[in-house]
């Protein structure tokens, strides 16, 4: 088993056609419960009682976008992103989108072109040119920020660093194969914590696929951004065709990895963009 950031579209098409997509691997991992505010958790549960996933999706969709990368005038790859802030107003407005470094760093020597695709109900898809203004180093910090002139979209609201809870209901929004935004749901299935109880690693069982890299994972109860998708674990599937044997890496259910909100905040601060994440809230009682 290994962790992947991409899944070839032709491979998926072949597997669907051959019926092999029904084969899935499964693993389990140790889960560590994070520390957080009891009052906040109680409030989230109370809200969740009267709030469904449908309402949460409506709240966070305006912050979700598609990312397209072109090389030499041809589509090279697709990914996802989350709007995290803006500056200016009117015609001078500039938006900022967070995505993955393995997307933004694609074939730098070939001068890639980036576009943000904004999908809104009842409106044609808007295509806006973008440029990379912050880039992390894969695999340690698989994050990047794109600057997008003309982007006018509601930014996501960041969760508090210490508010991530094992078992929280979440929705993941991405653009599989670049064909449009798609929503999946699950829970926070694993958290790696530092000594202060802040998440340094994040896993959810919400399924994703190729093209979802850079998408947001949001908490259902309040719509807050909990993490940014980095990749997923795969299992190799082999099968014979005539006299040849083929194999493909397939996403494993329950093995979606993401950068937790504290890691995203740290990345933004390190690149002089801390203001995009707003204040650094912490709900734990101060000593």
Catalytic residues: 102, 142, 213
Measured over the CA atoms of residue 263, residue 264, residue 266 and residue 267, the dihedral's sign is: positive
**Do 15 and 237 touch, CB atoms closer than 8 A?**
yes
Q: How far apart are CA 199 and CA 264, in angstroms?
A: 11
Q: What are phi and psi of 286, to 5 degrees?
A: -75, 145
Tokens of 75: 């589509």
DSSP string of 177-235, one letter each residue: GGSS-EEEEEEEEEEEE-TTS-EEEEEE-----TT-TT-EEEETTT--EEEEEEEEEEE
Helix, coil or strand: residue 19:
coil
Q: Residue 96: name the closest of 276, 279, 225, 262 by CA.
A: 276
Query: Residue 157 half-sphere exposure, CB side, CA atoms within 13 Å?
Result: 11
DSSP code of residue 40: H
**Do 199 and 164 touch, CB atoms closer than 8 A?**
yes
Q: What are phi and psi of 151, to 5 degrees?
A: -80, 120
Tokens of 287: 């000593």
Q: Residue 223: name the closest of 153, 163, 156 by CA.
A: 156
């Amino acid at each position: 088993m290994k962790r992947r950031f991409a899944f070839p579209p032709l491979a998926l098409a072949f597997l669907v056609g051959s019926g092999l997509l029904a084969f899935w691997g499964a693993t389990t991992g140790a889960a560590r419960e994070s520390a957080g505010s009891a009052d906040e958790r109680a409030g989230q549960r109370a809200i969740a009682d009267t709030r469904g996933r449908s309402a949460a999706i409506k709240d966070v969709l305006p912050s979700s976008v598609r990312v397209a990368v072109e090389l030499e005038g041809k589509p090279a790859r697709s990914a996802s992103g989350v709007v995290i802030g803006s500056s200016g107003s009117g015609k001078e407005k500039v938006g900022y989108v967070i995505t993955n470094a393995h997307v933004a760093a694609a074939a730098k020597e070939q001068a890639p072109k980036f576009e943000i695709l904004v999908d809104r109900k009842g409106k044609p898809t808007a295509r806006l040119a973008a440029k990379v203004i912050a880039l992390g180093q894969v695999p340690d910090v698989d994050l990047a920020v794109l600057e997008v002139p003309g982007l006018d979209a509601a930014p996501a609201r960041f969760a508090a660093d210490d508010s991530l809870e094992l078992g929280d209901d979440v929705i993941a929004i991405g653009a599989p194969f670049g064909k449009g935004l798609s929503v999946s749901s699950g829970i926070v299935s694993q958290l790696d914590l530092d000594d202060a109880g802040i998440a340094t690693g994040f896993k959810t069982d919400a399924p994703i696929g190729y093209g979802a890299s850079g998408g947001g994972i949001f908490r259902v109860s309040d719509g807050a951004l909990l993490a940014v998708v980095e990749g997923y674990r795969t299992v190799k599937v082999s099968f014979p065709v005539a006299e040849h044997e083929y194999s493909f890496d397939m996403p494993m259910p329950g093995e979606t990895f993401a950068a937790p909100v504290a890691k995203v905040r740290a990345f933004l601060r390190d690149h002089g963009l801390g203001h995009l994440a707003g204040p650094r809230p912490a709900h734990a009682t101060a000593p």
